[in-house]
Structure 1
């Protein structure tokens, strides 16, 4: 029984570390998000729920790293010039990817955009602030401690498969969606998780995946498309032309469009071929009780 929980050197296995982290982070994030609902109505827009969830994941990350005597920077979390550069580049990349998907749907005769009535800059800025919180929370949760311990325990490929699958299942897919649309949305979300994992692997920093995640979600909201099934109002409003939902994404958003599968496929191929900035930096030495961060 001891071998189930500990390796040959007596250290707790990475799988149990990841599971314990996920449970504790989920509980603390839930508590903090509940506390956010107690804030005054005038304050809540400036402190949206995702930032409280991110705070919970961050605190649990610090606790687990303390037990391992590892710094927060070992997870690819830091505030420096490189992080700012990768965050900006990632956000631009996310906007470009969504723009290509929207362009494909438009070229196929699926949609056109009209200027939204009463569009305000403040609403667009508020959406960007909200999406920053979402990106920080989800990347810290899915590609921080859990992802990196999964790599050490299973190797890169299997870690990508497992975390991308969890990332996919963590998103809502309504049973009211048409079956082809739901299938495309699930494939796209799995591919997005894989792409974001590659963004970390190529830089060993969370700034790039946070930026891509932010740019993707924010531009979807700005154009008025749904973001993983949630409605947003931006500068424009999409007008659909009656084409199949698996082509346009429908009310779920462009993430349920077949063009998103194409765009993400191209991005994954490009990231796979790119050696990344991590390849130009000295490899961080693993702890004696852990396998190298990239194996397999």
Structure 2
């Protein structure tokens, strides 16, 4: 005789299992996908709060404590809180010993500047532009551009290749993570000024490739210093030469005067990042990075080790 409570009806424990499988993996830890979403949501909230506070500062102080720098501190604080919950140190974010970080950062600046220099040289040789000295071309212009670009690089690299990127690698491996985060990095620039006509397609493709390149810089070193350095060198030289940086105007040491060549060659108002020459240079550099074995050492974080066992 069957009881009113049929034996086929799942018990409370059984009913909780599907929910547990959604949020908790086989190691009884929160799945990395939820860690990614949670860290991004927390970062956005902290960024908005700090940027709003920054706008209340005096104008003179706002020039030093820039919006991108405040955004960086927001992401850094979010990352620290997430790592505290996992009982991991902030250094596991990819902050390596000072000596190695300084070396990677310096090499990154040289590498990023060399990439922009190569693009500029090719476009110049094709009669795309010539440079004229700007009115404010002293040390103050160099410092202003460099300081602002450092804030941008710290913010974007910590956001796109920090905690969320690293936990995504543990959940779905490096290849899919690179694809997803490079695409998000590109889409984050989709509404920047200067994207007219075909420039939009070239610029978004170049930004996707740049995101992939910067992700490889992290994967090959296990640290954030190299991608931050490349980012600073790339944006910094663009700004100092007076080109648009992702569509934003900067008053550097020089000003480009265009010779009427098509925008797919010069990048136009958006900057050299919307030039097809940039696509070629980035592809070549990505190929070189892919063949490079990297400089990971024992003290570097190893996000690839968890890619096979922790689940999404």
TM class by shorter chain equals over 0.9
Question: CA 1:229/1:284 → structure 2, altered by over 3 Å: closer, same or farther?
Answer: closer
Tell me the distance in 1 between the aligned counterparts of 2:122 and 2:191: 23
TM-score (norm 1): 0.93
**Which of residues 218, 228, 235 is equivalent to 1:200?**
218
Tell me the distance in 1 between the aligned counterparts of 2:194 and 2:231: 26
Tell me the distance in 1 between the aligned counterparts of 2:300 and 2:33: 23
Tell me the distance in 2 between the aligned counterparts of 1:72 and 1:223: 36
How far residue 73 of structure 1 moved from its aligned partner, in angstroms, is 1.3
**Which of residues 142, 166, 172 is equivalent to 1:124?**
142
Verify: 1:139 aligned to 2:157, yes or no.
yes
8 Å Cα contact 2:218/2:226 also seen in 1: yes
Write out aligned runs for 1:135-174 (5 A). Answer: 135-173=153-191
How far residue 286 of structure 1 moved from its aligned partner, in angstroms, is 7.4
8 Å Cα contact 1:285/1:292 also seen in 2: no
Question: CA 1:287/1:121 → structure 2, altered by over 3 Å: closer, same or farther?
Answer: closer
Tell me the distance in 1 between the aligned counterparts of 2:67 and 2:193: 26
Tell me the distance in 2 between the aligned counterparts of 1:292 and 1:77: 24
How far residue 263 of structure 1 moved from its aligned partner, in angstroms, is 0.9
Question: CA 1:167/1:286 → structure 2, altered by over 3 Å: closer, same or farther?
Answer: closer
8 Å Cα contact 1:114/1:239 also seen in 2: yes
Tell me the distance in 2 between the aligned counterparts of 1:175 and 1:227: 10
Provide the secondary structure at the position in 2 that maps to 1:263.
Answer: helix
Tell me the distance in 2 between the aligned counterparts of 1:144 and 1:39: 28
> Deviation string for 1:100-144 (max 9, x for gaps)?
010111111111111112323202211100100110011001000
How far residue 281 of structure 1 moved from its aligned partner, in angstroms, is 4.0
**Which of residues 21, 27, 42 is equivalent to 1:24?**
42
> Deviation string for 1:136-167 (max 9, x for gaps)?
01100100001101111111100000000111
8 Å Cα contact 1:135/1:210 also seen in 2: yes
Which 10-residue stretch deviates more, 6-15 or 134-143? 6-15
How far residue 243 of structure 1 moved from its aligned partner, in angstroms, is 1.0
Question: CA 1:101/1:239 → structure 2, altered by over 3 Å: closer, same or farther?
Answer: same
Question: CA 1:265/1:19 → structure 2, altered by over 3 Å: closer, same or farther?
Answer: same
Tell me the distance in 1 between the aligned counterparts of 2:100 and 2:139: 29
Verify: 1:184 aligned to 2:202, yes or no.
yes
Tell me the distance in 1 between the aligned counterparts of 2:268 and 2:134: 18
Tell me the distance in 1 between the aligned counterparts of 2:124 and 2:138: 24
Write out aligned runs for 1:38-187 (5 A). Answer: 38-78=56-96, 80-173=98-191, 177-187=195-205
8 Å Cα contact 1:224/1:233 also seen in 2: yes
Provide the secondary structure at the position in 1 that maps to 2:246.
Answer: coil
8 Å Cα contact 2:194/2:247 also seen in 1: no
**1:231 corresponds to:** 249
**1:260 corresponds to:** 278
8 Å Cα contact 2:173/2:304 also seen in 1: no
How far residue 200 of structure 1 moved from its aligned partner, in angstroms, is 0.3
> What CA RMSD, in Å, does the superposition of the two structures yield over aligned residues?
2.2
